[in-house]
Amino acid sequence: MHNFGLHLLPDTVHSPDQPGSPETYLASNGVHAATAMPAETQNDGFTWKIEEWWQRTQNAREEDLYYYFQPVEEVDGPWVVTEGQRKLMFATYSYLGLLNHPRIAAAAKAAVDKYGTGTHGVRILGGTLDLHVEMEETIAQFANREDAIVFATGYVTNLATISALVGRGDWVISDKWNHASIVDGCLLARGQFVRYRHNDMDDLERRLSEAPTDVGKLVVADAVFSMDGDILDLPTAVALCRRYNARLMVDEAHSLGVLGKTGHGIEEHFNMPGAIDIKMGTLSKTIPGVGGYIAGDKKLINYLRHTARAFVFSAAVSPAVAAAIIEAFHVLKDEAVERNQILSRNVRHFIEGLQAQGFDTGITVTPIVPIMVGSEERAMIMTRYCQQHGVFVLPVLPPAVPEGSARLRANVTAAHTAEDIDFAINVFAEAGRVAGVI
């Protein structure tokens, strides 16, 4: 089997810098430049890296190991159909199972009838609808903050917010396992970019104490870490930020709807209302739309509305999406408690079931369940087996995760039934035996 080096989905910060020459880069991924590059290829400065990706993906496809970008043809609760085959979806972020919720779908349809499918452009000029105002008010209310701003995606939200806030001389201090959108925001910002060891509050304090007292200090972390499913130590992070006069920004991409009895996220989980200065969230996971938001005090949001370049110079979310988001937050209010109870039960059932089969599920305490397999090869073999036997799951490989910690990432949701979960555990167990993991 090939050294795939299928370094896809590098959405944390484990990515090393790419080696500088085509030869070393290709060789490190099991591809040799001399044989990889067709002789007739015009070789400008970009060719080698484009060619290298072509080789990698072709190799994986030829060995039936490429399961990315599969078009989903049908959605039926947690089941999907891809290439005519019915599969149980475990590569989803729809934690509370709100995809296809009838109230949310009806709101989107009504918005298309009323406003059409697009807007007059960017929000600051002609693009703001009354729906956008209602959407931001709804989010602010849910987050229990004065105001909120919505960006085109969650990725853009982190990029735009961090780069708008952290100027020359300021410091941004980021957990090493933070999502790529946070890392990219830190790289784009003009200040000092510093990282602390994952969820290590002593290391965070060390970094904070190194920063000059008279500069802006932004500490940023995921609430639930997207590769391992563990939770930020919010109480200590808040205490440190207060002590060192730093602002705390928390990304609730995977905690909205998931943490807290009523799905309000990490503040509810730790019973610390109002603890976070800058509450970030996505609208593409528990909320079945697209977009990202920042909720905070009204002066902060006003600042972002006028200075965050990816907001000022980019289009508004469509009317259908805005209406779906508003209705989804209303649905959360009505249904989160019940759905959350089911989700917690499913998380326990799934993790305990996998562990009983002999799997290592890492440090997760949330619906993000890593099935640790070690090598890339095992991860790919298990993925192929699962995909061929009715479970839609994908591998996470280095450098998205540290070397030697390749895994399948299986997300369980409130839409899965107990029978669904048992079915999946059995398929994972068979796959684990085939790949020599258990």
Choosing from 97, 154, 289, 296, the residue that interacts with ligand PLP (CB under 6 A) is: 154
**Of 100, 77, 101, 79, residue with least CA distance to 89:** 79
- Please tell me whether residue 155 binds ligand PLP under the rule CB under 6 A: yes
Q: Nearest 5°: phi and psi at 175? A: -60, 140
Residue with tokens 């280095």: 398
CB contact at 8 A, 359 and 428: yes
For residues 245 and 218, give the distance between their C-alpha atoms in angstroms, rounded to a whole number. 9
What the block records as the tokens of 70 is 């599969």
**What angle, rounded to 10 degrees, do the helices at 418-435 and 376-388 form?**
130
Choosing from 292, 367, 395, 398, the residue that interacts with ligand PLP (CB under 6 A) is: 292
- Please tell me whether residue 163 binds ligand PLP under the rule CB under 6 A: no
In whole angstroms, the minimum distance from the beta carbon of 265 to ligand PLP comes to 12
In whole angstroms, the minimum distance from the beta carbon of 338 to ligand PLP comes to 25
Nearer to ligand PLP, 91 or 429 (CB): 91
Query: Residue count at the site for ligand PLP (CB under 6 A)?
Result: 14
For residues 114 and 110, give the distance between their C-alpha atoms in angstroms, rounded to a whole number. 6
In whole angstroms, the minimum distance from the beta carbon of 96 to ligand PLP comes to 16
In whole angstroms, the minimum distance from the beta carbon of 154 to ligand PLP comes to 2
- Please tell me whether residue 282 binds ligand PLP under the rule CB under 6 A: yes
Q: Which residues are catalytic?
A: 226, 254, 285
- Please tell me whether residue 199 binds ligand PLP under the rule CB under 6 A: no
Residue 218 burial (CB < 10 Å; 0-12/13-18/19+)? buried
In whole angstroms, the minimum distance from the beta carbon of 436 to ligand PLP comes to 30
- Please tell me whether residue 198 binds ligand PLP under the rule CB under 6 A: no
The one-character DSSP state at 127 is I
- Please tell me whether residue 55 binds ligand PLP under the rule CB under 6 A: no
- Please tell me whether residue 253 binds ligand PLP under the rule CB under 6 A: yes
The one-character DSSP state at 360 is B
Piece in contact with ligand PLP (CB under 6 A), picked from 84-92, 103-111, 246-254, 306-314? 246-254
Piece in contact with ligand PLP (CB under 6 A), picked from 249-257, 302-310, 341-349, 353-361? 249-257
Nearer to ligand PLP, 104 or 431 (CB): 104
CA 3 to chain centre: 27
What the block records as the tokens of 296 is 């905070």
In whole angstroms, the minimum distance from the beta carbon of 398 to ligand PLP comes to 18
Helix then strand then coil, in percent of the chain rounded to 5, is: 45, 15, 40
Q: Which of residues 223-242 bind ligand PLP (CB under 6 A)?
A: 226
In whole angstroms, the minimum distance from the beta carbon of 38 to ligand PLP comes to 36
The one-character DSSP state at 16 is P
Q: Nearest 5°: phi and psi at 374? A: 90, -80
Piece in contact with ligand PLP (CB under 6 A), picked from 132-140, 154-162, 230-238, 358-366? 154-162
CB contact at 8 A, 184 and 338: no
Choosing from 153, 174, 340, 383, the residue that interacts with ligand PLP (CB under 6 A) is: 153
Residue with tokens 């990304």: 251
Piece in contact with ligand PLP (CB under 6 A), picked from 32-40, 230-238, 248-256, 417-425? 248-256
Q: Which amino acid is at 324?
A: A
CA distances from 380 to 65, 188, 372, 374, 397 (A): 6, 34, 12, 11, 9
**Of 374, 380, 356, 370, residue with least CA distance to 412:** 370
Number of CB atoms found within 10 A of residue 232's CB:
26
Give me the numbers of helices (H) and strands (E) for the chain, helices first please: 15, 14
Piece in contact with ligand PLP (CB under 6 A), picked from 61-69, 247-255, 295-303, 413-421? 247-255
Choosing from 284, 346, 366, 413, the residue that interacts with ligand PLP (CB under 6 A) is: 284
For residues 349 and 336, give the distance between their C-alpha atoms in angstroms, rounded to a whole number. 19
Nearer to ligand PLP, 397 or 427 (CB): 397
Choosing from 2, 56, 179, 195, the residue that interacts with ligand PLP (CB under 6 A) is: 179
- Please tell me whether residue 181 binds ligand PLP under the rule CB under 6 A: yes
Piece in contact with ligand PLP (CB under 6 A), picked from 25-33, 213-221, 250-258, 356-364? 250-258
- Classify residue 263 as left (phi > 0), alpha (psi -120 to 50) or beta: left
Binding site for ligand PLP (CB under 6 A): 153-155, 158, 179, 181, 222, 226, 251, 253-254, 282, 284, 292
